[in-house]
Structure 1
Amino acid sequence: MIDRQRLADLRAAEDQLFLDLHPRSAEQAARARGPLLAGVPMPWMTRWPGAFPVFAASATGARLVDADGLEYVDLCLGDTGAMTGHALPQVAEAVARQAAAGITTMLPSQDAVWVGEELARRFGLPTWQLAMSATDANRFVLRFARHLTGRPRIAVMDWCYHGTVDETLAVLDEGRVVPRPGALGPQVDVVTTTAVVPFNDLDALDRRLAEGDVACLLMEPALTNIGIVLPDDGYLDGVREVTRRHDVLLVIDETHTLCAGPGGCTSAWGLDPDFVVVGKPIGGGVPSAAYGMTAEIADRLAGPMLGHEIDVAGVGGTLTANALALAAIRATLSTCLREEDFAVAVPLAQRFTDGVAGVIEKHALPWHVQRLGCRAEYWFCPPPRDGAAAAAAVDDDLEGFMHLWALNRGVLLTPFHNMALFSPHHTEADVDGHTEVFGEAVQALVG
């Protein structure tokens, strides 16, 4: 229903407007092309719309200011890393205090026990360990699962995302396990490490786990990084039954789905995993992550954890669980990501969903908008039930135009997909501003 020539013409105009609006970012980008690979400190920063990334100057609450002094309503929030809002005073104060008292000592800090107890309260799993990122936490849990079961493979959902864990960068291609498109330099053929099954397909999961070589299933309770794909009614209960029947450990990655509430989907939906992984927002922006486990798993791991060679077991890191990160986590979890915070953020996400749905309905487009807690995303298709259908619906040209249109009008969306995230710092006016910008973009497209 979209005229592709019209889309191309509109995109060209937006590209020029972007250049006109961002001369200082252009200067910084040109300077960065020498010392930084691809002109950015981390590869995915090239995914932002426009000829170069906007360079950030400051971010506070739900606002971001760029190098050209332009202010944005930030609906990206560091792709969940700043879901609490930017520059939290309580985190800044805790970090400053701890920095003055020592950042890393390789010893437990006074905040460590509090953090473990709070994570146990929120997620219902009694025993925890810390990591620097959810990628690390996932990697460590996969090692534990293989050790505990003696099985070589892990299972993931088709088109999942669990950070940069090698074993998870796999998809299905006509039933065959292959590297995910874009995965650089896989260390081994993923068919030797990974089983892949479609989301929302219990029969496929049952058949694959019946082969008896899978140590654990690592999954999000709802797919997020390919767009929000929600579980069918009863699906997650079925996953737990199937994994138990085949003696496969269930690992729930809540790094993105923490948007569902203080204990993520695990608490909100009454899930019963063997491990939970959570990262990104728990440190209020300071790099940190954690993984929890049942008492049974903790008991089975007690021997190896106290072994003389645990420092070379492939689990941990010199700066992991440093005092600065633990101080940040305690400051964050004691004042943020609480029921009262979600009571503000979730209705804003619902308002966003309603506004976008209204525009879609007005123009009779075959699009859809989906919400999970304080996170919402729109699709250029009806709602998919699995990752492959979601991936097939990606429209890079249309997505890039919509993102650039919004950015040029002061609204930041997550660059990889059409995700908007809400914090208690956002307002109804912020949501309505996006609805207006979204409506103008659609009107310009359809004429």
Structure 2
Amino acid sequence: MKTEYRTLDPARLAAVLERERARYVQSNSRSSALAQQASAHLMFGVPLHWMSDWSMPFPLHVDQAKGAHVTDVDGHTYVDFCLGDTGAMFGHSPEPVARALAAQATRGLTVMLPSEDGVWVARELARRFGLPVWQFALSASDANRFAIRWARALTGHRQILIFNGCYHGTVDDVFVDLVDGKANTRNSLLGQVVDITQTTRSVEFNDLAALESALADGQVACLLAEPVMTNIGMVLPDPGFWDAAQALCRRYGTLLLIDETHTISSGPGGYTQAHGLQPDLLVLGKPVAGGLPCAVYGFSADTAARAEAAKRQAPPGHSGIGTTLTANLLAMAAMRANLAEVMTDAAYAHMFGLAEQLALGLGQVIERHNLPWCVTRIGARTEFQFTPTPPRNGTQADAILDAALEKNIHLYLLNRGLLITPFHNMMLVCPSTTPADVDRLVSAFASFVEEVVRP
């Protein structure tokens, strides 16, 4: 029996889920009709199969999204704590970004040539993150893919290293899990024909001995990592872990590639600046252009020099890095507006205060009902986890996931006008979120708990 079911009543959970499913069906006739129409021409009934992974009996169809709110086609408005799983971390359609997009739309969308916006954005990224040289992509998946290619090109090594349970987008190299201590291609991966365990190594997060063992032969081009694991539930680094990990990378000639796509919640310069990391390469995706598809990746001065030398010394032809729409004019205009006017110090201060309020409120509910759960937070990102103490690695984080319980909670909240991320229990606040929004989420969470705890 999972720990939480010693506290929660399975019969009550089942009754609540049945009631909430019926309530959703009754309240969302327009979404239901669109779902039926979509089934004829959209695989799984949605434009992207992940959109069917929510807790609803059928997909919720959106009419519009603005600030911290989403309105569906049935006219219901929700306070959004999912925020596009970080893509809209600074709110839906921020005014400065919307203005920049409207202005740029009449002046060209893509020309495969640089613009003044690109110069401004690169200079601002260098100021924020401390890496002096930058390149662009359309998604964090692409940015990670390109950064790995650069790392292999300039080190001459084929191997990369990841932490067990990680997610870095749709990069083939990262779909490796540890099973009984051995690397295995992830079972869920479709269409994989190359044995990626031949070039990808995996160790547990926070395990310095395993990390050194994986690096010791000097054959690893890069360690690709989130500074805090966020895609399997939040896993915080042990005190001193990153200082020691960085030293090991330097000792064995491995480049450190930090993926800040989610941990940008830590501050304007991400976890890297907030905690003094010194990566060789850094990726930031989803939220950097205010929700428009865009990503960036930066190089330390030495890494950039080596990368430029590798490209110049290579035979002419396609490098396998970049796409035609990379750094298009629309994305660059959006990114400049977002960095200049939306991702500000003041916005982060506001979000940190609300995230602290949220974490405190959730923690009080958990304590009041003696639930064996905990609350974890980094900056504007908060999560409640089904364990009394936060997990230390991906294996522990995976063991506490409970999809059935998560979907029950998420649907309960959604029927009360509150959206949180559809996998595990991650919540974000944005500059448009209010203290009243946070209170409303905490109150609904408390109501759910009160309905399902054992009498």
TM range (shorter): over 0.9
What residue identity is the alignment partner of 2:429? F
What residue identity is the alignment partner of 2:211? L
1:34 is paired with a residue whose SS is coil
State how far apart, in whole Å, the 1-side matches of 2:142 and 2:88 are. 19
What residue identity is the alignment partner of 2:421? T
Spell out, residue by residue over 1:353-396, the C-alpha distance to the aligned partner (whole angstroms, 9 max, x if none).
01110110011010011000000000111211111100010111
- Off by >3 Å, runs of 4+ in structure 1: 303-311
1:371 is paired with a residue whose SS is strand
The answer as to whether partners of 2:286 and 2:295 remain within 8 angstroms in 1 is yes
Aligned pair in 2 of structure 1 residues 307, 89: CA closer, same or farther (>3 Å)?
farther
The answer as to whether partners of 1:304 and 1:310 remain within 8 angstroms in 2 is no
Q: CA deviation at 1:212?
A: 2.7
Determine whether 1:36 maps to 2:42: yes
Q: CA deviation at 1:94?
A: 0.8
Determine whether 1:112 maps to 2:87: no
Q: Which residue among 76, 88, 92 is the counterpart of 1:86?
A: 92
1:111 is paired with a residue whose SS is helix
Determine whether 1:405 maps to 2:392: no
Q: CA deviation at 1:97?
A: 1.3
Q: After the TM superposition, which of the residue ranges 308-317 and 353-362 deviates more from structure 2? A: 308-317
State how far apart, in whole Å, the 2-side matches of 1:354 and 1:3 are. 25
Determine whether 1:303 maps to 2:309: yes
The answer as to whether partners of 2:153 and 2:310 remain within 8 angstroms in 1 is no
Q: Which residue of 2 aligns with 1:203?
A: 209
State how far apart, in whole Å, the 2-side matches of 1:437 and 1:294 are. 46
Q: Which residue among 67, 71, 74 is the counterpart of 2:77?
A: 71
Spell out, residue by residue over 1:151-209, the C-alpha distance to the aligned partner (whole angstroms, 9 max, x if none).
11110000011001011111100111112242222231221121001001101100111
Determine whether 1:353 maps to 2:359: yes
State how far apart, in whole Å, the 1-side matches of 2:186 and 2:441 are. 33
2:116 is paired with a residue whose SS is coil
Q: Which residue of 1 aligns with 2:380?
A: 374
What residue identity is the alignment partner of 1:223? M
1:250 is paired with a residue whose SS is strand
What residue identity is the alignment partner of 2:271? C
The answer as to whether partners of 1:177 and 1:190 remain within 8 angstroms in 2 is no
Q: Which residue of 2 aligns with 1:441?
A: 448
Q: Which consecutive unaligned segments of at least 5 residues does structure 2 have?
A: 1-5
Determine whether 1:255 maps to 2:268: no
Q: Which residue of 2 aligns with 1:314?
A: 320
Report the TM-score when normalising by structure 2.
0.96
The answer as to whether partners of 2:154 and 2:310 remain within 8 angstroms in 1 is no
The answer as to whether partners of 1:202 and 1:238 remain within 8 angstroms in 2 is yes
The answer as to whether partners of 1:109 and 1:323 remain within 8 angstroms in 2 is yes
Q: Which residue of 2 aligns with 1:291?
A: 297
Q: Which residue among 439, 443, 446 is the counterpart of 1:432?
A: 439
Aligned pair in 2 of structure 1 residues 250, 345: CA closer, same or farther (>3 Å)?
same
Q: Which residue of 2 aligns with 1:49?
A: 55
CA RMSD between the two structures:
1.2
Q: CA deviation at 1:306?
A: 4.8
Q: CA deviation at 1:144?
A: 0.6
What residue identity is the alignment partner of 1:417? H
Q: CA deviation at 1:109?
A: 1.2
State how far apart, in whole Å, the 2-side matches of 1:238 and 1:41 are. 44
State how far apart, in whole Å, the 2-side matches of 1:301 and 1:286 are. 28
State how far apart, in whole Å, the 1-side matches of 2:317 and 2:136 are. 15
Aligned pair in 2 of structure 1 residues 50, 258: CA closer, same or farther (>3 Å)?
same
Q: Which residue among 166, 179, 182 is the counterpart of 1:173?
A: 179
Residues paired across the two proteins, number:
447
1:265 is paired with a residue whose SS is helix
Q: CA deviation at 1:421?
A: 0.3
The answer as to whether partners of 1:131 and 1:289 remain within 8 angstroms in 2 is yes
State how far apart, in whole Å, the 2-side matches of 1:208 and 1:376 are. 32
Q: Which residue among 140, 152, 163 is the counterpart of 1:157?
A: 163
Q: CA deviation at 1:337?
A: 1.5
Aligned pair in 2 of structure 1 residues 264, 300: CA closer, same or farther (>3 Å)?
same
Q: Which residue of 2 aligns with 1:62?
A: 68
1:29 is paired with a residue whose SS is helix
What residue identity is the alignment partner of 2:134? W
What residue identity is the alignment partner of 2:226? E
The answer as to whether partners of 2:96 and 2:342 remain within 8 angstroms in 1 is no
Aligned pair in 2 of structure 1 residues 309, 70: CA closer, same or farther (>3 Å)?
farther
State how far apart, in whole Å, the 2-side matches of 1:8 and 1:81 are. 33
1:320 is paired with a residue whose SS is coil
Q: Which consecutive unaligned segments of at least 5 residues does structure 1 have?
A: none
Determine whether 1:384 maps to 2:395: no
What residue identity is the alignment partner of 2:396? A
The answer as to whether partners of 1:226 and 1:417 remain within 8 angstroms in 2 is yes
Q: CA deviation at 1:5?
A: 2.8
The answer as to whether partners of 1:261 and 1:338 remain within 8 angstroms in 2 is no
1:277 is paired with a residue whose SS is strand
1:312 is paired with a residue whose SS is coil
Q: CA deviation at 1:211?
A: 2.8
Q: Which residue of 2 aligns with 1:395?
A: 402
State how far apart, in whole Å, the 1-side matches of 2:114 and 2:179 are. 46
Sequence identity, in percent?
Answer: 49
The answer as to whether partners of 2:86 and 2:428 remain within 8 angstroms in 1 is yes
Aligned pair in 2 of structure 1 residues 358, 181: CA closer, same or farther (>3 Å)?
farther
State how far apart, in whole Å, the 2-side matches of 1:291 and 1:162 are. 13
The answer as to whether partners of 2:91 and 2:431 remain within 8 angstroms in 1 is yes
Spell out, residue by residue over 1:89-139, the C-alpha distance to the aligned partner (whole angstroms, 9 max, x if none).
211111111111110000001201001000000000000000000000000
Determine whether 1:139 maps to 2:139: no
Aligned pair in 2 of structure 1 residues 289, 90: CA closer, same or farther (>3 Å)?
same
